[in-house]
Amino acid sequence: MLGRLVKTRVVAKASPVCAIGLYGNEKLFVTNGCGCLDSECLVRIDSNPKSLERGLIGNFVSSVVPNDFHELSFSEYVLLALWSGNMTKRKEIPTIEEIYRYFNSGNLAHAYFVSATQGRERSKRTHIFHRGCHTAKDSTARMIKILSVGTNARLIISESNVLMGSIYRRIEEMGLVPIVMEALT
């Protein structure tokens, strides 16, 4: 159940930052889901149902729900996000904390940040983790393999639509489902 991507209908507001959705017969508390009141959204589940008496806990991913969407286990999808110009970061590469400000997928131990470069290289791929970051020439397949430890969110962030489109297509070619996260407002 951990890491599962599901569709839920948000039916109530529990707090300023948490909504209540329905997932089958279960309550699903959706962090950052208040903007989807009375509509459906995609949620990444971050709790084990056996450990919670009040309901499941998950994190808002997107208000865009494909018509043919079916639940996805952690191993079936990869989250993508676009880092736009109005998003702030202290350095060239955002920290995990800065990522959480705009894309809170929950249970994020590390992520990749892909940025455009000048010269012969097409992009710079930086592996971000809590204690820092490391830039390498990792392929999309290698990035996904590195991000696939446990049930942590697998998130790749791009600084451009062109780079994100390329990564999106490569993820599809690998037989996985790319899911574009919606930035938190």
Do 100 and 35 fall within a single domain? no
On whether residue 185 sits in a domain, the answer given is no
Taking Cα atoms as reference points, which of 183, 147, 185 lies closest to residue 167?
147
Q: What is the pTM of this model?
A: 0.92
Which amino acid, 19? Answer: A
pLDDT score recorded for residue 57: 92
Domain extent at residue 88: 75-180
**Burial of residue 132 (number of CB atoms within 10 Å: 0-12, 13-18, 19+):** exposed
How many helices (DSSP H) and strands (DSSP E) are in the chain?
3, 11
Token pair 């009040």: residue: 54
Do 103 and 62 fall within a single domain? no
Do 125 and 162 fall within a single domain? yes
Last residue of a domain, one of 55, 72, 89: 72
Q: pLDDT of 168-179, one tens digit each?
A: 999 999 999 999
Q: pLDDT of 89-143, one tens digit each?
A: 999 999 999 999 999 998 888 999 998 876 544 788 999 998 889 998 899 999 9
Q: pLDDT of 1-24, one tens digit each?
A: 789 999 999 999 999 999 999 988
On whether residue 55 sits in a domain, the answer given is yes
